[in-house]
Amino acid sequence: MRREDAAKAAPVAPNGDPRWYKDAIIYQLHVKAYRDGDSDGYGDFRGLLDKLDYVQSLGVDCLWLLPFYPSPLRDDGYDIADYKAINPTYGTLDDFQRFLDEAHRRGLRVVTELVINHTSDQHPWFQRARTAPRGSPERDWYVWTDDPNKYAGTRIIFTDTETSNWTWDPVAQQFFWHRFFSHQPDLNFDNPAVLEAVTDAMRFWLDMGVDGLRLDAIPYLVEREGTNCENLPETHAVLKRLRATLDAEYAGRIFLAEANQWPPDVRPYFGDSDECHMAFHFPVMPRMYMAVARQDRTPIVEIMARTPEIPPDCQWAIFLRNHDELTLEMVTDEERDYMYTEYAKDPRMRINVGIRRRLAPLMGNDRRKIELLNTLLMSMPGTPIVYYGDEIGMGDNVFLGDRNGVRTPMQWNGSWNSGFSETDSAALYSPIIVDPPYGFQGVNVMAQERTEASLLRWMRRLIAVRKTTQAFGRGRLEFLHPLNRRVLVFLREHEGDTILVACNLAKSAEAVQLDLSRFAGCTPLEMWSDQPFPPIDETPYALTFGPYGYYWFRIRGDAVADGPGAGVGALEAGQGGGA
């Protein structure tokens, strides 16, 4: 099948809704870390294809794949050396097409990476640019200077490894600009040829049938003297051009923006529904951890109060952990120190301005806290992203360099190499987690499939319950403010369907009284079992929680006639099982 034909055949919107991303649950994985299909120690598309049934069984709707392009792999594939090929270690373009077709056959969409801020210094574009004469069209594909003090107001992102955003190139006899590592020169988007080449790369993967593209590091596309070189109007002009092409040629496909900024600074990346469909909400993530550590809802309530409205067809993407560090850029210095004290006492757990740990170790392997955080992930505004292995409570390895400690092989079973690969253990791209309590012998998919009360089976149930309503993915948010600040309570409402979420952030048993008089006459029923709670009346409604307990309460618009709750609907309450 030609790529053009594949694009036409791909089930871009099988439910007929171009806003599919608002209800989706995304599963993030690295091909190299998932399953080794040819026994060379690296995961590949053949191995991933073999595990699609497992991915489908989780109940997720979409896979987000980390970079799989040819690369020197000095930044785990984000240093791209060829935009239109597959790293041979992971397979071939035919392997990718087979994987994509099988994912679509199962109703799974696929989002891949479009890393357009920079390339590897091994990319042919850069090799051509560094040998071309100054001022030539070839040299102009990247950003050069003779003065390394240019753009002096720009912050350095990787403070652990870089001392400047300029690096001297002995071949070009000039400094080149980079916002990330010094082996990742930034492309020059003031050059129309660069935008044309990036658009061509975008078309290549969309023609194959991918359903979306994550735009990496997009706040830094353009540089201007006298600014911090972030979020510039010229950057938004580039994104509008890309979006116009996407809308004109690829209906139902999406852009997901990676912009680690404060919410008001991220809001422009949605534009007037003419830039990105989705954007990560970075600041809410550390504040969920902060709220649990402080046993106080204030950090979550405050950051959501600072979150602006976005166009109705746009969406936030939220997550607990991913392939990078738990970033602490969008917190105060005092909050950062607090997070380090609570979650990264060992300096080896820290990197750049963040914490390189997985969810389960961050929660001290406390199942109650892991459930609570996942409950928040699935109920806060936005599309939730689950990082591979977190559904079984995988651990990390702080002795590995960079962020590699949270990128170890998936743990499938307790046999040789955890079922990830049949090769020699020494040949694996990364050591497998072996030490308790996170060693693969005890933490693996097979063991949890066989255990009724396992985290894996609980996660499947959580995802299934979330998918019974569109209120979580599309609903408005309204916080309630009971006197007990250890309890977080909020409403999610969409087209008459209202969810009440109540979570105990404390390690102690707690009680709370809520003003639910608007629902007077309704009988709460929990979403997980449909068991009734005491009816609601005009008096404060009392809830009690065990440590880190939680409830989901669902309000439907089909059981209230006259009275205070008229037009709101009957409360069909859902308990998350934690009280």
Round to whole Å and give the CA distance between 545 and 548: 7
Q: Which residues contact 492 (CB under 8 A, 6 or more apart)?
A: 379, 381, 471, 472, 475, 476, 477, 498, 499, 501
Assigned token pair, 167: 């690096």
Residue of 267, 243, 278, 527 lying closest to 383 (CA atoms): 278
SS (H, E, C) 429-487: CCCCCCCCCCCCCCCCHHHHHCCCCCHHHHHHHHHHHHCCCCHHHHCEEEEECCCCCCE
**Can you give 267-286 as a three-state secondary structure string?**
HHHHCCCCCCCEEECCCHHH
Active-site positions? 216, 258
Q: Enter the tokens of residue 332.
A: 């105060």
Q: Which residues, in sequence order, are CB contacts of 296 under 8 Å at separation 6+? A: 485, 486, 505
Under DSSP, the state recorded for 540 is: P
| Angle, vertex CA 383, rays to CA 17 and CA 276, nearest 5 | 70
Residue for token digits 């740990």?
Answer: 357
Rounded-to-integer distance, Cα 435 and Cα 108, Å: 34
In DSSP terms, 330 is beta-bridged to none
Strands 109-114 and 62-65, sheet pairing = parallel
Tell me the CA distances in angstroms from 370 to 180, 390, 391, one per residue in order: 32, 9, 10
- Residue 289 Cα distances to 285, 327, 340, 374, angstroms: 7, 12, 11, 11
In this structure, what token pair is assigned to residue 169? 């190139």
Alpha-carbon gap, residue 172 to 187, rounded angstroms: 15
Four-residue CA torsion sign, 447, 452, 455, 456: positive
Q: For the CA atoms of the chain, what is the radius of gyration? A: 24
How many residues does the structure list for the chain?
579
